[in-house]
Structure 1
Amino acid sequence: MKRIITDDAASLAETGARQLAEALAEEPALVAAIATGNSPIALYERLAELRAAGEVDAGQMTAVQLDSYIGTPDDDPRSLWDWMRRAFVAPMGLTDAQVLRFAADPEDPEAECARMGTELEAAGGLGLAVVGLGPNGHLGFNEPGSAPGALTRPVELSPESLQSNAAYWQGGIESVPRRAMTLGLAPLLSARRILLVVSGAHKHEILRRAVEGPVSEDCPASWLQRCPQATVIADRAAWEGA
């Protein structure tokens, strides 16, 4: 795993956007998993600026939804798809045909996850995975206990994930759906490039645990230590805890 420590959140966004732009230049038909959450948002904004300036061409890429709450239709304010659409898909000018996403509220989540896995495999797998770092070390919604071979699947959210996500929605923790669908660690860890984007002093302890601690299911992000194609981009606040 490579490490890039930036001075602040703005330089993190610039560095991350340039990394993603480089991946698109090298692989125009890039298939990329796109995380939501606060850490990568400024990165996407900067990437959209580069596109508007003619420095990035996203016309052939495919954006893949990383995770989705079960039971939240597209017009639900908690929809992770709507967040992804607003943060990445629309600013990058992607069409519906350029998006691989979970059905909003499938009758059979197991079958829906199997479909996502099959379609992703047919697309050649992930050229890039952009992921954030959960408070308990989860990647996507691969919670502690997830093995590196875990496939795309429905999951039960941990108490830490429920508490973390409660900050995004009105109604607090009781408003957070308890179940979700997530790309598994197997497709994420096999991506040809992986960007772990981490911002803020509140992520310091779990970041150090992920990057320097024991590699185990207790901290799913620690599996990235075994991925030479992975790069962690963190601002100094996250790295130093200040």
Structure 2
Amino acid sequence: MRLVINDTYDEVSVWAAKYVRRKIIEFHPGPGKLFTLGLPTGSTPLGMYRKLIEFYKAGKLSFKYVKTFNMDEYVELARDHPESYHSFMWDNFFKHIDIEPSNAHILDGNAADLEKECDNYEKMIKEAGGIRLFIGGIGPDGHIAFNEPGSSLVSRTRVKTLAQETIQANARFFGNDLSKVPTQALTVGVGTVMDADEVMILITGAHKAFALHKAIEEGVNHMWTVSAFQQHPRTIFLCDEDATMELRVRTVKYFKGLMQLHNKLVEEPAE
């Protein structure tokens, strides 16, 4: 497990984008050899997406041979609804890069058989050779994707009924009208993400500080599902200074002392 601490949100975004870029380029993707990338939605990864778009527009990165799998999607929310995760990903990332639309996978919350949709998603990931790098964000309660407190740490892609707290928190995206907020979502499981070769979790802001503490300084606990990634052989927790407020001084000093080593992970890759 690595904890990479940057000073600001913008620095986290740049570091994350450089890491993704290096991983894709070093893989040497091409026809019949696609790099598989797991992606999140939400405000935290937006800066990373903007930087990746910059890399593409500057001719420094191509997504032509990249296949993506998103973490989650609301149930019974129209695909073109402005708050659907399908709309989020296309508006903020996919339409700005050269990814083949058929390679951008997002769960279908309007599928006739939701359980079958989830099972097929797991099959598609397996058929793609698994996910090389899965990127995630977390909620203040330490949940990843829609694996809310109490979720199984070996869970797979499934239908999830959202907690009332989550519904209330999401109301701001729906004009503060609770009746318009989806009550269910399709989500990859903790076990689905754990299967990835590497996991990078973005944690920014003081409101995520206690969750980061629970994620790395205490034991694995299904009430803080992000803590499961302590046990992944290749996890990077990437955070800003504000998110370290609840960490022990010794923890912060130790990982800051490794930043010179960590920054080598995002050096310009050999083309």
The 10-residue stretch of structure 1 (122-131 or 205-214) with the greater mean CA deviation from structure 2: 205-214
Is residue 219–residue 227 contact of structure 2 (8 Å, CA) maintained in 1?
yes
Q: Does 1:95 align with 2:104?
A: no
Residue 119 of structure 1 aligns to which amino acid in structure 2? M
Where does structure 1 lack aligned partners over 5 or more consecutive residues?
none
CA deviations on 1:174-225 (whole Å, 9 max, x unpaired) are: 4321100011111201111111011111111111111212211111000011
* Alpha-carbon distance change, 207 to 164 in structure 1, aligned in 2, over 3 angstroms: farther
Tell me how far 1:143 sits from its aligned partner. 1.4
Number of matched pairs? 241
Aligned match of 2:253:
none
Following TM superposition, where does structure 1 have runs of at least 4 consecutive aligned residues deviating by more than 4 angstroms? none
Instruction: Check whether the contact 1:126–1:187 (CA below 8 A) recurs between aligned residues.
Output: no
TM-score (norm 2): 0.85
Q: Which residue of structure 2 aligns with residue 235 of structure 1?
A: 240
Q: Residues 62 and 98 of structure 2 are in contact (CA less than 8 Å); yes or no, is this contact kept in structure 1?
A: no
Cα offset for 1:118? 0.9
Q: Which residue of 1 aligns with 2:196?
A: 191
Q: After the TM superposition, which of the residue ranges 69-78 and 171-180 deviates more from structure 2?
A: 171-180
Q: Of 164, 174, 178, which residue of structure 2 is paired with 1:169?
A: 174
Larger radius of gyration: 2
User: TM-score, with normalisation over the residues of structure 1?
Assistant: 0.94
Aligned-pair Cα RMSD in Å: 1.4
Structure 2 unaligned residues grouped into runs of 5+:
247-271
Within 1, Cα distance between the matches of 2:168 and 2:58? 39
Aligned to 2:74: 69
**Kept in 2: contact 1:63–1:89 (CA 8 A):** no
**Deviates further, 91-100 or 197-206:** 91-100
Partner of 2:116: 111
Is 1:139 the equivalent of 2:133?
no
The equivalent residue for 1:4 is 4
Secondary structure class of the residue paired with 1:47: helix
Structure 2 residue corresponding to 1:206, chosen from 187, 197, 211:
211
The reply to whether residue 120 of structure 1 matches residue 125 of structure 2 is: yes
Separation in structure 1 between the aligned mates of residue 40 and residue 192 of structure 2, nearest angstrom: 14
**Residue 44 of structure 1: how far off its partner (Å):** 0.7
Percentage identity across paired residues of the two chains: 27
